[in-house]
């Protein structure tokens, strides 16, 4: 068997494309496949690849915030120990009132990941059980992993400035002072903070 | 419990089943397990490599990083002198600071255990607090994966074979899209502003371009440089030498971006509309300026804005000085220069053309008629090459060739030209000669890497088919019976290390004498100022040292009414230094006349 042959991977992609409507997929590289599905297909695709294609191991789940496009992208990372192939299942979810079906009956571990994503991105998993709080305590702000969450504002509001940091210098000021450069008003709004 | 417990008696013997098996052991002495390869532990900063750009401090979302002065670090060109200090109480080890560090000096180490009874020591300076961290680096950035954008957006240019056919501009310049992309690479550290002689507000106008605010970019450029487009095309751009990105990648194309911004205003009227300067009421003071070069024009522009009555006396038909007559049109087209000068005229700068001071008008007249005088005469007079046959027909200085060509003449160069020198003027002379149809050879005493010319110019010349002969010393121009250039005799040289620690010297190789047939010889080994316009009494009232006028920090000569700037004053002798001189003189003249 040749090392670089991607036949096995391509076969899985073809199989999935033939099985599910609106599923697109490609072989990313040796031992890595990526498929994109609609959000309503999540549980059926996950169940199918687990039961029929050997992707019995759930490795990880994450979420990407496509702020400009108005989507969250959920990524389920699965592994087939038998074929030694990694499968990434991706689904886009509207950013507004983001909600998606719970899938923790397929892998119990998913519960933990879904709880984290719920807390950090504000994606609602319909039918999921588990404490609302995951890591954050008494959080009443926007979910902090969303890209429009302003970390610096939050930090400034919540944490006090410790003593001993008063001697901090601004690079721009240090240099303009050294050279005697006078920065006009029209320019200062473009200076680095 | 039974008195005789059989289970308690037998159980210990079950250990015997392990007998004969390989023992499980740990190595001695005990080795701690290594942390993961990309482990994100405590910071380490290589203080020598760090340039104090402050990018780490800016990116930190926890505001955990301060830039602070350290005793052992002095600020210098290309180094703010500041170094990061981390508040480990706030750090979350996201390592973004490492990802964006342009020099790669900031790293995270494998150390993560830090126990101390003194809570204040969590505020620590990487590299100072843990000098041993250098040997323990784990998370680091490399050029391929770093979040800094190290590759410059390529500048489109005409092909070398196309270029030599005409004097069309060789650079095609950035489109809007390319300019925005290139501008967004800038990390706004402002190290460049220190080495710019004029201290232009570089990060600000580049940021304005990145944000799509070209008009603001023009306004920021015009704050202290009224020849932004000219600089955008031909500046010696020392700023790019110290760009933070240049340490591991390509410097931001500061020069081309300036060209892009000012180039958006296509006419003098558009420039005026965009810059929309605040022109003050006339204050009744008159300033005379000798020479319409970059320093004179800058002085005139800003003085006119401040309400002074400004007149420039220019010997030639057009303004710009060396920029007009010394820079070939394929680098700086006349339209571009005239646009910038027309705009200056529109805000009240008066220029008397074809008025040579000392011939058409005396310096004395100018001196008496004005409340202050600025002298920006530049280096017009070429040095002679100093070899036999220099006065032959067909041997002349490069500045004269450039002057003639820029005035619209097409001198006959014959079919083979040799240019002597290694500076930008030599390259200009060579490339112009190529465009006049000649084969061109540049003879330079030292090695190519020693040439003071801009590397882009050297490359440009090579692409156009100019041959560079390094380590070549011309010794004689051979003429025919009509005293016309026929050939050049030269020696090859070898480089000998200088005992005094200077740069290696070229020493002629005996017996390497060669004769090459040529039709023209162009000398380009430097220029000097011509003070013949200055009457004796004035020459004595100001100080002239080794051909340069001596001025104080305010560009004022020993005669308080006379100010001076440009090539004839500063050591760097480039356009941006002349502009900087002019800008400084404005402040001084204002102080001198208004207080």
> pLDDT tens across B476-535, in order?
999 999 999 999 999 999 999 888 877 888 999 988 999 999 999 999 998 999 999 999
Assigned domain for B515 exists? yes
Q: Is the dihedral of CA B572, B582, B336, B288 positive or negative?
A: negative
Hey, where are the domains in chain A?
Answer: 7-164
Q: Determine the pLDDT at residue B27.
A: 80
Q: Determine the pLDDT at residue B467.
A: 96
> pLDDT tens across B77-104, in order?
999 999 999 999 899 999 999 999 999 9
> pLDDT tens across A32-42, in order?
999 999 999 99
How many angstroms separate the CA atoms of B577 and B375, rounded?
Answer: 15
Assigned domain for B147 exists? no
Q: Determine the pLDDT at residue B189.
A: 95
Q: Pick from A151, A168, A171: which is nearest to B190 by CB? A: A171
Whether pTM exceeds 0.90: no
A180 and B CB contact within 8 Å: yes
Inter-chain residue contact B188 with A191, CB threshold 8 Å: yes
Q: Which of B257, B274, B291 is the last residue of a domain?
A: B274
The residue of A135, A189, A190 whose CB has the most chain B CBs within 10 angstroms, and thus the best one to mutate to test that interface, is A190
- In sequence order, what are the beta bridge partners of B443? B420, B469
Assigned domain for B430 exists? yes
Indicate the average pLDDT of chain A: 93
Assess whether B419 and B351 both reside in one domain: no
Assess whether B389 and B497 both reside in one domain: yes
* First and final C-alpha spacing in chain A: 58
- The ipTM value here is 0.86
Assess whether B335 and B390 both reside in one domain: no
CATH of the domain at B331: 3.50.50.60
Range of the structural domain that residue B246 is part of: 160-274
Assigned domain for B18 exists? no
How many angstroms separate the CA atoms of B203 and B190, rounded?
Answer: 6
Phi-psi domain of B154 (left: phi exceeds 0; alpha: psi -120 through 50; beta: other): beta
Token output for B125: 């300076």
Q: Which helix (H) or strand (E) holds B494?
A: strand B485-496
Assess whether B229 and B134 both reside in one domain: no
Assess whether B387 and B502 both reside in one domain: yes
CA-CA-CA-CA dihedral for A105, A106, A108, A109, to nearest 10:
-140
The residue of A135, A174, A193 whose CB has the most chain B CBs within 10 angstroms, and thus the best one to mutate to test that interface, is A174
Assess whether B391 and B509 both reside in one domain: yes
Average pLDDT, integer, range B15-30:
83
How many angstroms separate the CA atoms of B509 and B496, rounded?
Answer: 11
Q: Which residues of B3-18 are buried (b: 16+ CB within 10 A; e: fewer)?
A: eeeeeeeeeeeeeeee
Chain B CB contacts of A181 under 8 Å are: 193, 199, 201
Query: What's the helix, strand, coil split of chain A in %, to 5?
Result: 30, 25, 45
Number of domains, chain B: 4
Q: Pick from A159, A168, A191: which is nearest to B90 by CB? A: A159
| Local confidence band at B546 (pLDDT 50, 70, 90 cut-offs) | confident
How many angstroms separate the CA atoms of A142 and A144, rounded?
Answer: 6
Phi and psi at residue B371, to the nearest 5°: -80, -25
Assigned domain for B16 exists? no
Q: Which of B490, B510, B527 is the last residue of a domain?
A: B527
Chain A CB contacts of B59 under 8 Å are: none
* B10: closest CA of chain A, how far (Å): 44
Asked: is A7-164 a CATH 3.40.190.10 domain? The reply is no
Inter-chain residue contact A188 with B58, CB threshold 8 Å: no
Q: Which helix (H) or strand (E) holds B442?
A: strand B439-443
Assess whether B181 and B95 both reside in one domain: no
Assigned domain for B474 exists? yes
Q: From residue A42, how far is each of A23, A92, A101, A110, B96 by CA, in Å?
A: 11, 10, 8, 13, 33
Assigned domain for B22 exists? no
Percent of chain B with pLDDT over 90: 82
Q: What is the DSSP letter of A105?
A: T
Assess whether B416 and B460 both reside in one domain: yes
B353 or B15: which carries more pLDDT confidence? Answer: B353
| Residue A2 reports pLDDT greater than 50 | no
A157 and B CB contact within 8 Å: no
Assess whether B117 and B134 both reside in one domain: yes
* First and final C-alpha spacing in chain B: 113
The Cα diameter of chain A in Å comes to 72
Q: Which of B217, B246, B274 is the last residue of a domain?
A: B274
Assess whether B204 and B242 both reside in one domain: yes
| Residue A5 reports pLDDT greater than 90 | no
Assigned domain for B14 exists? no
């Amino acid at each position: 068997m040749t090392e670089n042959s991607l036949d096995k991977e391509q076969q899985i992609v073809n199989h999935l494309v033939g099985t599910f409507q609106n599923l697109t997929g490609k072989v990313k590289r040796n031992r890595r496949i990526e498929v994109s599905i609609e959000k309503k297909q999540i549980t059926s695709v996950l169940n199918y690849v687990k039961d029929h294609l050997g992707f019995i191991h759930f490795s990880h789940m994450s979420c990407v915030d496509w702020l400009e496009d108005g989507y969250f992208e959920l990524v389920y990372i699965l592994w087939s120990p038998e074929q030694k192939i990694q499968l990434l299942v991706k689904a886009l979810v509207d950013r507004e009132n983001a909600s998606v079906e719970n899938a923790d009956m397929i892998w119990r571990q998913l519960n933990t990941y879904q709880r984290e994503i719920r807390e950090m991105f504000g994606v609602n998993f319909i039918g999921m059980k588990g404490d609302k709080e995951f890591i954050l305590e008494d959080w009443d702000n926007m979910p902090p992993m969303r890209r429009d969450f302003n970390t610096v504002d939050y930090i400034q509001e919540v944490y006090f400035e410790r003593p001993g940091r008063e001697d901090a210098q601004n690079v721009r000021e240090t240099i303009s002072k050294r050279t005697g450069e006078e920065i006009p008003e029209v320019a200062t709004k473009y200076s680095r903070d | 419990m039974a008195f005789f417990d059989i289970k308690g008696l037998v159980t210990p013997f079950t250990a015997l089943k392990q007998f004969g098996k390989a023992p499980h052991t740990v190595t001695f002495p005990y080795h701690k397990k290594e942390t993961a390869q990309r482990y994100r532990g405590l910071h380490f900063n290589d203080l020598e490599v760090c340039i104090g750009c402050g990018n780490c401090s800016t990116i930190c979302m926890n505001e955990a990083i301060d830039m602070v002065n350290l005793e052992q670090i002095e600020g210098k060109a290309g180094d703010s002198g500041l170094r990061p200090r981390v508040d480990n109480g706030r750090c979350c080890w996201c390592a973004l600071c490492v990802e964006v560090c342009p020099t790669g000096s900031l790293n995270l180490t494998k150390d993560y255990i830090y126990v101390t009874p003194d809570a204040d020591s969590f505020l620590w300076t990487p590299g100072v607090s843990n000098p041993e961290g250098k040997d323990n680096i784990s998370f680091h950035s490399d050029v391929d994966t770093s979040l800094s954008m190290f590759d410059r957006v390529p500048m489109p240019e005409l092909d070398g074979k196309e270029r030599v056919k005409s004097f069309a501009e060789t650079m095609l310049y950035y489109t809007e899209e390319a300019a925005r992309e290139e501008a967004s690479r800038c990390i706004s550290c402002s190290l460049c502003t220190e080495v710019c002689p004029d201290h232009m507000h570089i990060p600000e106008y580049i940021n304005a371009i990145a944000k799509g605010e070209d008009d603001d970019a023009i306004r920021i450029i015009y704050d202290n440089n009224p020849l932004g487009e000219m600089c955008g095309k031909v500046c010696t751009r020392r700023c790019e030498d110290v760009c933070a990105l240049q340490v591991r990648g390509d410097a931001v194309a500061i020069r081309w971006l300036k060209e892009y911004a000012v180039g958006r205003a296509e006419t003098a009227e558009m420039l005026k509309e965009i810059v929309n300067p605040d022109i003050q009421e006339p204050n009744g003071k008159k300033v005379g300026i000798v020479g319409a070069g970059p320093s004179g024009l800058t002085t005139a522009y800003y003085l006119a804005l401040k309400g002074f009555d400004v007149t420039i006396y220019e010997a030639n038909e057009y303004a710009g000085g060396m920029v007009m007559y010394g820079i070939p049109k394929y680098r700086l087209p006349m339209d571009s220069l005239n646009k910038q000068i027309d705009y200056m005229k529109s805000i009240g700068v008066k220029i008397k053309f074809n008025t040579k001071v000392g011939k058409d008008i005396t310096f004395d007249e100018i001196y008496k008629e004005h409340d202050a005088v600025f002298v920006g005469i530049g280096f017009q007079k070429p040095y002679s090459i100093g070899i036999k046959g220099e006065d032959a027909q067909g041997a002349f200085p490069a500045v004269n060739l450039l002057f003639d060509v820029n005035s619209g003449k097409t001198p006959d160069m014959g079919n083979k030209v040799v240019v002597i020198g290694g500076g930008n003027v030599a390259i200009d002379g060579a490339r112009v000669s190529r465009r006049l149809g000649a084969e061109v050879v540049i003879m330079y005493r030292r090695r190519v890497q020693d040439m003071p010319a801009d590397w882009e110019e050297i490359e440009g010349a090579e692409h156009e088919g100019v041959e560079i002969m390094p380590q070549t010393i011309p010794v004689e121009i051979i003429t025919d019976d009509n005293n016309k250039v026929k050939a050049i005799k030269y020696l090859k040289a070898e480089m000998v290390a200088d005992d005094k620690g200077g740069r290696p010297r070229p020493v002629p190789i005996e017996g390497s004498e060669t004769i090459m047939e040529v039709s023209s010889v162009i000398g380009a080994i430097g220029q000097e100022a011509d003070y013949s316009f200055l009457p004796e009494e004035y020459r004595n009232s100001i100080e002239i040292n080794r051909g340069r006028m001596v001025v104080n920090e305010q560009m004022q000569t020993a005669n308080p009414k006379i100010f001076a700037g440009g090539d004839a004053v500063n050591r760097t002798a480039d356009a941006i230094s002349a502009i900087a001189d002019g800008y400084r003189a404005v402040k001084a003249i204002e102080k001198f006349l208004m207080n």
